[in-house]
Chain A
């Protein structure tokens, strides 16, 4: 049987204050698959993705990506393979100019200065932000910061892109542009979101995290159709959004 691209086996995590954020998570992802992680606030979604990037957890080899086991010695390779876009772009963009920020990751991951700059320029082109390369990040709008944050991760050429609520606080046009950018990326994707239409548009498959456990793992469309599952996990379709339009 073919090994999954990413596998998480029986992963649990407890914060120092005793709060059990993750309980026996088992999850698999195929190469170039796109999965949405849905669930109410405080369900453990962000904790889960911080584990995927090797930031939280004790790296005890419960996670494996592309035959690479999570361990301290592999940590740099793991972080290069799994690109993580944080929820608040102000947490991510800290260098004096956009270009330098986008070059920060590639430089750390061993690309030469020339390669890092080339990667950064390509990544900024992908998110249509190249014109802002020399601007300081704090002078950008929120939507622009979000695009730069995505570019800053893409520049390291990750194989799996993990995004934490990428559509939060975006105006409809910025959200639309973001969806187009994500749809055009040719890499594996894990999308943590409360934006159910976005999950449906980008990810064929979704998992629901609730109370630190994966309660559902199914096709996004099937989950949205299942009223009981939606209610049990405090999920709701936006007002005016009707699934039967998609059926027609």
Chain B
């Protein structure tokens, strides 16, 4: 059975970002996200500057508007949480106005605006990164950024075996359905729970077999990915620096 590989987020386009060093893209994303997270949101100019940086990356990533908004939906839980804040986060008890006799507090309202802006900008950057960088490249980039070899190994295994497990789970479900299993309703959950448990045990056993096969090829404790060639870009570093400077000016100087 083929997998749909639905978790592969990279879009094979002709964006200039796709050809750049993954470690540079990860570093830039981290710097800008970090800067946005620490922005005070008191000065509109700085918000707009950060917004334009993100917009620039969205533009050069050549990601389609429809795909962008579809992927942006991942922040819906955060938005829902943020929408409650004006009603529950009282701060200094300053009421802005009332909706159906429920008070809307100024502190909560400001927090909501802050979360909405920051989440949207940060998720947009994550979308740009994942759309222009394959899973393998992200691991390679993290390796270049000297992330722990153990974490690199765990991430590589996760990417490699997620398809195998999705396939196995699909096969189990097909086998269940072929014996008249109806997954609707609460009753349908119990067999799924059993199947998940069986899959977990199979996963454990497979882990042992994979480890044996690694041992047989002289595994000594860490795996390293092959060197790859990518283009470098000073503009990414420039944008990272600008973004950090904006936040420093916002926080320290003003």
Residues of A within 8 A of B (CB): 50, 53, 55, 76, 79-80, 83-84, 86, 88, 90-97, 99-100, 103-105, 107-109, 113, 117, 136-139, 152-153, 156
A153 touches B217 (CB 8 A): yes
The answer to whether A94 and B160 touch (CB under 8 A), given A79-B218, A80-B218, is yes
Closest to A104 in B: B217
Contacts of B226 in A (CB 8 A): 97, 99-100, 103, 113, 117
B156 to chain A, nearest CB (A): 6
Task: Tell which of B5, B215, B216, B227 has the most Cβ of chain A within 10 Å.
Answer: B216
Closest to A116 in B: B226
Task: Tell which of B156, B217, B219 has the most Cβ of chain A within 10 Å.
Answer: B217
B136 touches A108 (CB 8 A): no
Query: B152-179 toward A: CB 8 Å interface, digit per residue (1/0)?
Result: 0000110111011000000000000000
B201 adjacent to chain A (CB < 8 Å): no
B12 adjacent to chain A (CB < 8 Å): no
B223 touches A104 (CB 8 A): yes
User: How many Cβ-Cβ contacts under 8 Å join chain A to chain B?
Assistant: 81
Contacts of A80 in B (CB 8 A): 218
Contacts of B136 in A (CB 8 A): 96-97, 136
A79 touches B215 (CB 8 A): yes
User: In the complex, which of the residues A96, A105, A152 contacts B225, with contact meaning CB atoms closer than 8 Å?
Assistant: A96
B206 touches A79 (CB 8 A): no
B159 touches A96 (CB 8 A): yes
Residues of B within 8 A of A (CB): 3, 5, 135-136, 139, 156-157, 159-161, 163-164, 206, 209-210, 212-220, 223-227
Residue contacts A-B, CB under 8 angstroms, 15 given: A55-B212, A55-B216, A86-B216, A88-B209, A91-B209, A91-B212, A95-B160, A96-B135, A96-B159, A104-B214, A105-B217, A108-B217, A108-B220, A138-B160, A156-B218
Contacts of B212 in A (CB 8 A): 50, 55, 86, 91
| Pairs A-B, 4 closest by C-beta atoms | A108-B218, A105-B217, A96-B136, A91-B209
Q: How far is the CA of A53 from the CA of B219 in the complex (A)?
A: 13
A109 touches B156 (CB 8 A): no
User: In the complex, which of the residues B3, B156, B219, B227 contacts A108, with contact meaning CB atoms closer than 8 Å?
Assistant: B219
A94 touches B157 (CB 8 A): yes
Q: How far is the CA of A158 from the CA of B219 in the complex (A)?
A: 16
Q: How far is the CA of A217 from the CA of B214 in the complex (A)?
A: 31
Closest to B205 in A: A91
B216 touches A79 (CB 8 A): yes
Q: How far is the CA of A95 from the CA of B214 in the complex (A)?
A: 11
B218 touches A76 (CB 8 A): yes
Contacts of A109 in B (CB 8 A): 217-218
A94 touches B139 (CB 8 A): no
The answer to whether A100 and B225 touch (CB under 8 A), given A90-B164, A91-B206, A138-B164, is yes
Kindly list 8 other residue pairs between chains A and B, CB separation below 8 angstroms, not including A83-B216, A94-B161: A50-B212, A91-B210, A94-B214, A96-B225, A104-B219, A136-B160, A138-B163, A138-B164
Contacts of B216 in A (CB 8 A): 53, 55, 79, 83-84, 86
A92 touches B139 (CB 8 A): no
Q: How far is the CA of A239 from the CA of B159 in the complex (A)?
A: 42
A94 touches B156 (CB 8 A): yes
Contacts of B3 in A (CB 8 A): 138
A138 to chain B, nearest CB (A): 5
B147 to chain A, nearest CB (A): 15
Closest to A50 in B: B212
Contacts of A99 in B (CB 8 A): 226
Q: How far is the CA of A136 from the CA of B134 in the complex (A)?
A: 11
A180 to chain B, nearest CB (A): 24
Contacts of A55 in B (CB 8 A): 212, 215-216
Q: How far is the CA of A217 from the CA of B11 in the complex (A)?
A: 57
Q: How far is the CA of A160 from the CA of B218 in the complex (A)?
A: 15
A92 to chain B, nearest CB (A): 4
Q: How far is the CA of A108 from the CA of B157 in the complex (A)?
A: 18
Q: How far is the CA of A144 from the CA of B189 in the complex (A)?
A: 37
Closest to A92 in B: B213
B247 to chain A, nearest CB (A): 35
Q: How far is the CA of A87 from the CA of B214 in the complex (A)?
A: 14
Contacts of A50 in B (CB 8 A): 212
Contacts of B224 in A (CB 8 A): 107
Contacts of A108 in B (CB 8 A): 217-220
